[in-house]
């Protein structure tokens, strides 16, 4: 049987570049509750080692003392992350006959 269409090819190889992408947004968040503060200890210390005013500071010196407190602070903290993934899109190149051509991405350098 003679060929009616001599250019007819049963097997074709075609290619098309397709870049698929989606945008992912990650946003951390935190909130806090009302802090609770407890005083665990209070101390007072005189600057000179005088006990009950028995010793006096030298002329021109000041009376010095230090007050310290030890606190415990409780802060309830809630951490969370919101992830939003958009629908994927495709950017299509021009379809061509033949195998894929070598491609070098600028990011590969």
The predicted-structure confidence for 78-105, as pLDDT tens digits, reads as follows: 999 999 999 988 888 888 888 888 776 6
107 occurs within a structural domain: no
Domain count across the chain: 1
66 occurs within a structural domain: yes
Share of the chain above pLDDT 90, in %: 37
88 occurs within a structural domain: yes
5 occurs within a structural domain: no
103 occurs within a structural domain: no
Coil/strand/helix, residue 91: strand
69 occurs within a structural domain: yes
Domain ranges, residue 30: 14-52+61-96
pLDDT < 50 positions in the chain: 50
> What is the pLDDT, as a whole number, of residue 56?
64
2 occurs within a structural domain: no
> What is the pLDDT, as a whole number, of residue 106?
58
pTM to 2 decimal places = 0.43
46 occurs within a structural domain: yes
Contact indicator for 75, 30 with CB cutoff of 8 Å: no
Cα gap 53→45, rounded to integer Å: 13
């Amino acid at each position: 049987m003679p060929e009616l269409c001599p250019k007819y090819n049963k097997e074709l190889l075609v290619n098309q570049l397709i870049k698929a992408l989606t945008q992912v947004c990650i946003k951390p968040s935190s909130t806090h509750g009302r802090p609770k503060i407890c005083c665990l200890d209070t101390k007072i210390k005189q600057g000179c080692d005088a006990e009950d005013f028995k010793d006096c500071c030298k002329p021109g010196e000041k009376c010095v003392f230090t007050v310290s407190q030890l606190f415990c602070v409780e802060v309830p903290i809630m951490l969370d992350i919101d992830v939003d993934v958009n629908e994927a899109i495709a950017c299509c190149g021009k379809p061509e006959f033949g195998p894929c051509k070598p491609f070098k991405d600028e990011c590969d350098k």
